[in-house]
Amino acid sequence: MGRWMKPEVYPLLAAMTFVTSMCAFQLTRNLLQNPDVRISKRRRAMAVLDNKEEGEKYAEHGLRKFLRTRPPEVMPAINHFFSEHK
């Protein structure tokens, strides 16, 4: 790998690996859990889906419930430091 990979490339490789894995996670989640995606023949045959509960379960996942209890700040310490009047 030494000939093909320089140490300067490692942070870029890490960032691209993280982004690619997040994309793969989201695509897999949509494919397997989204109520609007119909893979099985039985679900494709249904003209109108009556699945409000399933849609609520998909939209209100655990991460969203956790973040709802947190303050909407990315870096609270830096925000408070720069917003204090001196």
Give per-residue pLDDT as tens, 7-24.
888 999 999 999 999 999
Q: How many whole angstroms separate alpha carbon 29 and alpha carbon 25? A: 6
**Nearest to 58, CA basis, from 31, 25, 35, 24:** 35
Q: What share of the chain is helix, strand, coil (3-state, %, to 5)?
A: 65, 0, 35
Q: Which long-range contacts (C-beta less than 8 Å, at least 24 apart) are formed by 64-71?
A: none
Q: Which long-range contacts (C-beta less than 8 Å, at least 24 apart) are formed by 22-29?
A: none
**Residues 36-69: pLDDT tens digits?**
787 878 777 776 667 788 778 888 888 888 988 9
- pTM of the predicted model, to two decimals? 0.57
Q: Which amino acid would we find at residue 12?
A: L
- Paired tokens of 71: 């303050």
